[in-house]
Each structure stands twice: as C-alpha cells, then as structure tokens.
Amino acid sequence: MDWQDILFKFVGGLGIFLFGIKYMSDGLQKSAGDKMRGLLAKYTSNPVLGVLVGICVTILIQSSSGTTVMAIGLVNAGLMTLRQAIGVVMGANIGTTMTAFIVGIKIEEYALPIIAIGAIFLFFFNKKKFQYMGQIVFGFGALFLGLSTMSGGLKPLRELPVFIDFMVQMKDQPFLALLVGVVFTVIVQSSSATIGILQTIADEGMIGLQGALPILFGDNIGTTITAVLASIGASVAAKRTALVHVIFNVIGSIIFMIFLVPVRDLVLWLGEGVNIRMQIAYAHGIFNTTNTLIFLPLIPVLAWIVTRVVPGKMQEIEFRPMYLDERLLATPAVALGQAQHEIVRMGRYARETLEDAAVFFFTKDSKSASLALQKEQLINELNRKITDYMVRIHQSNGLPAQESEKASGWLQTVNDIERIGDHAENIVELSEFSINNKVEFSELAGRELKEMLAVADKAVERAISALEHNDAEAAQQVLDYERDLDEMEARFRKSHIQRLNQNLCTGSSGAVYLDILSNLERIGDHSKNIAQFVLHEEDYTD
C-alpha cells in the first residue's frame, strides 16, 4: 500500500475541496453585492426573521462558522442583540446543510468540464457579473474535483484490516464516533469539509449510515470551536452568543444520539433509493432543522442561561433611533420635537466617542478604542436616519415658516455632530498608528494634548447641553472654549516646532501630534456651530 499516494491525494483533495467552497463562496458574496453584514444587522427584528436571515446568509457564503462569527461581530459592536443573534445562529446551522446536499449530488465525472466552463467565464468575459458567475461555477467544479481526488486516495483503505476494525468499532461505539467527528472538525476548522469527507468515505462503502450519523453530529459540535475562538477577547454579549452556539449543537447532538436508531430509520425512509451521500445530507438537514424547531421557542431561556453562565455587564448601546416614529410624521410639529430628542442623543454619543478616544490615546486600552468606533458607527447610522426623517418632515409642508427655518438649523446641527464623531474616530486611528509604530511623545507634548482634549470635551459637553436646554449661557461658554482651542492650537504648534528644532521629538510623533491638534481644533469649530445655532434660535424666539 502506497501511503504517500494516499496521504498526498487526501491532503491535496481536501485542499482543492476547501478552495472550491471558499472560491464559490466569494463569488456568491460578490454577486449578491457583499451586503451580508448589513442584511444581518437590519433584518433580524424577531427570532423567526433572524433564523430566515441566518439561512439565507449562510447559503450565500457557504459557511455557518462565517455567519456565526459575523453575528458575534455585530453583537460585539452592539448592532445586534443577543436574542437576535441566537436566531441567526440557528438559521446558520440550517443554511450550512446546503453544502452537504451539493456534495450529495454525484457529479464528480463532470468536475473538469465544469471547471473549464468557469474558467471561460473568468478569462473571456470582462463584465464583473460574468466573472462572478465564473467564480461560482469554477468553485463548484473544484469542490467535486477535490471530492474525487480524496475518494481516489481513500479507496485503498477499504482493504486495510486496521481501518476496517476501526470503522466497525465506531459503528458499535457511537460516542467514540461522535468524538472523532468533534476532533476532526476542530482540526480542519470546517464542518462542511469534514461532512464532505464523511460522505466520501461512506460512498466508498467504508462506513454505513448508522456509523456515519454520530460522526455527523460530532462535526456539528466541532464547528462551534470557530465561534468560541472568535469570541475570545470580545464583549460579554459576543461570548454569550458563542456559548449559545455550543449549547445548541451539544444538546441537539445528545438528543439525536439518544434517538440514534429512530433517526437512522427516518433517514432511510426519506432517502430510500438515493445514494448514501444524499442520505447523510438528509440527516444533516433533519438534525439542524429539528434543533431549531426545538430551541426557537426557548430563545429567552437560552439567553437567560448564557447570561448566568457568562456574567458581566453588557455595554448597552441601542443601535437604532429611539425617538423617531413614522406615525408622528402626520403631525410635523410633534415629529420635529422627537427628532430634536434624537439629535441630542446623537450629540451625547459624539461626546462619549471623544472621551473614549482620549482614554485610548493615553492608556492604550483597546476596549476604549472599540467603544469609540462602535459609537461612531451609531452616530453615522443616526445621521442617516435623522436626516431622512427631517427631510420627510419638510416634504409634508405642515410646518410654519418659522418652524421650517428651525428645522433647517437642526439639520445642519446633525451634520456638525456627525463631524465631531468623525474627528474623534480620527484620533482613535492616529492613536492606533502611534501604538503600532511605537511612536513616543515627549512629556510636554503629552501634557499639551491632555489640556487641549479636556477643553475640547468641555466644548462638546456645553454645546450639547445648550442644544438640549436651549441654554444661551452654555452656548456662550462654548464660544469661549472654541477661542481657547484656536489659541492652544497655534501656541502648541509653535511649541512643537521648537521641540523639533531641539531634536526633542521625531518626525513621526510630530506628524501624529499635529494631526491630533488639528482634529481637536475642528471639534471646537463644530461645537461653535452648534452654539451659534442655539444663540440664533434664542434671539429668534425673543
């Protein structure tokens, strides 16, 4: 027996198979507009919808781990709640069965012509949509070429007594088979690949359906390791989401192991007359669909369990407007009042973003950077939603001329707040650059930045307070702070040039220092714009 030939064909076939899945997945994502993250964030308002979105996204990207990791990222960013993410995870488990059904179609003999067709689309068509189509077809063909190569490599094992005994042992000891599935998937990091290998081994007659089912269930447990790894160092909510994925697959596997014989009989009945590869695909579909139906009503219970197992306070960021109500557009004056509440809320987040950016700069605490970037995302989202809402208020023509003028001022304020968030984000990025490139600042430069950041923070705080309470005194304070920031920016810039001439700082640290000064000065300008609007509104009211 040529062990080198077996090993090379198996490893090479596995590589081609994984490449085929990835390449096909990339083509599907590109042809779909690569908007899966947005789809997950927007259309998961209830668990059932979350399941459906999870199914669709996983079919598009051909990876349940990818969808789950994406959901964890959205939870970590505060764009999705834990309960929404649980629905998505359940849907991802159903969506991933599509790969098993694709593998169940025995068309390896046509793999090379399929690859050729894909290559024609890739190299002889200039339009992107045809190239994406070629990528999908090429990946589809590569997937089956990989299966065929693996199958050819594994065939000699059928005659190896040790391998035969091991397969018989797995049939007689289902929990050993379950463990094999878990370990193999943890190693390969792809349940689609390990299930594809299982289908290939079964198709070669090396293992029967009853022996294959526990391995299949183990594959589903093993795939949770990717989500667990993605949650390391993430937020409490993200860790809870990963734990839900583990609980979902582990409890489901235990249930199906208990009812192993009835499950086998059901699969044989449903898959009568089809090949064993398709029967395994049926079993995979039954496993995940049944699991979802069992756990869907228990989502609140699952959320409660993981909250107890993973303690800690979650960062509560409501990533959607709280005050904008479509029904109030019928009464524009009331709708404008609600929009003003939302704008003030947006302003508070802009100030918090600046505070988190300052903490990150001085402490290098990555959690502060993450929070700043999350809040800046929220500011951008609120900017879009508020602007759209305000435009619709204007279009209703239900506002008096005075109120319409005020509404225009509030709309400009939204832009100023959004720009404050952008400048705070710039400070985070400059801080990351200084950390990654080991940029050191002199003690004096650090003191100057701390002083200017404190004044900028006061300017933003007073501006938002003035906006909320229509406070002319607070607005006047903002104008004073803005003059201080202008003076500081000019004075500190001169101080920096002196340090540069005395070789007390480097060019890299100087560039970062000057950029931060510039961003803080611009934050003062936008705060001043808000204050002037408040003062104008106060004068107009009087």
Q: Per-residue pLDDT averaged across 263-268, rounded?
A: 90
Token duo for residue 191: 């349940």
When mean pLDDT is compared across 47-61, 109-123, 406-420, 473-487, the lowest value belongs to 47-61
Query: Between the ranges 122-131, 328-337, 402-411, 465-474, where is the mean pLDDT highest?
Result: 465-474
Residue 132 confidence (pLDDT): 85
User: Is the pLDDT assigned to residue 538 strictly greater than 80?
Assistant: no
Alpha helices for 232-275 (secondary structure H): 236-258, 260-270
User: Is the pLDDT assigned to residue 216 strictly greater than 70?
Assistant: yes
DSSP 420-486: HHHHHHHHHHHHHHHHHTT----HHHHHHHHHHHHHHHHHHHHHHHHHHHT-HHHHHHHHHHHHHHH
Name the pLDDT band for 64 (thresholds 50, 70, 90).
Answer: low
Supply the DSSP symbol for 317.
-
Q: Per-residue pLDDT averaged across 10-25, rounded?
A: 80
pLDDT digits (tens, 9 = 90+) for 425-453: 999 999 998 888 887 888 888 889 999 99
The H-or-E segment that residue 288 falls in is helix 276-295
Q: Dihedrals φ, ψ of 315, to 5°?
A: -75, 110
Residue 422 confidence (pLDDT): 94
DSSP 115-160: HHHHHHHHHH--SHHHHHHHHHHHHHHHHHHHHHHHHHHHGGGGG-
Average pLDDT, the chain: 82
Residue 515 confidence (pLDDT): 92
User: Is the pLDDT assigned to residue 80 strictly greater than 60?
Assistant: yes
Q: Is the pLDDT higher at 114 or at 397?
A: 114
When mean pLDDT is compared across 38-47, 115-124, 333-342, 435-444, the lowest value belongs to 38-47
Residue 346 confidence (pLDDT): 93
Residue 542 confidence (pLDDT): 41
Q: State how far the Cα of 92 lies from the Cα of 103, in Å rounded to an integer.
A: 18
Q: State how far the Cα of 213 lies from the Cα of 198, in Å rounded to an integer.
A: 10
Query: Between the ranges 49-58, 306-315, 375-384, where is the mean pLDDT highest?
Result: 375-384
User: Is the pLDDT assigned to residue 365 strictly greater than 90?
Assistant: no
When mean pLDDT is compared across 81-85, 132-136, 151-155, the lowest value belongs to 151-155
Q: Is the pLDDT higher at 412 or at 61?
A: 412
Q: Per-residue pLDDT averaged across 408-422, rounded?
A: 92
User: Is the pLDDT assigned to residue 183 strictly greater than 90?
Assistant: no
Q: Per-residue pLDDT averaged across 497-502, rounded?
A: 76
pLDDT digits (tens, 9 = 90+) for 292-324: 898 888 888 888 888 888 876 655 556 567 888
Residue 34 confidence (pLDDT): 45
Name the pLDDT band for 541 (thresholds 50, 70, 90).
Answer: very low
* Domain boundaries, given as residue ranges, for the chain: 8-309, 329-541
Q: State how far the Cα of 244 lies from the Cα of 306, in Å rounded to an integer.
A: 7
Cβ atoms < 10 Å from Cβ of 184: 18
Q: Per-residue pLDDT averaged across 110-119, rounded?
A: 90
Name the pLDDT band for 375 (thresholds 50, 70, 90).
Answer: confident
Supply the DSSP symbol for 398.
-
Q: Is the pLDDT higher at 344 or at 507?
A: 344
Cβ atoms < 10 Å from Cβ of 244: 26
Instruction: State CA 180 to chain mean position distance.
Output: 30
Q: Is the pLDDT higher at 64 or at 360?
A: 360
User: Is the pLDDT assigned to residue 251 strictly greater than 60?
Assistant: yes
Q: What CATH number does domain 329-541 carry, 3.90.1150.10, 1.20.1250.20, 1.10.490.10, 1.20.58.220?
A: 1.20.58.220
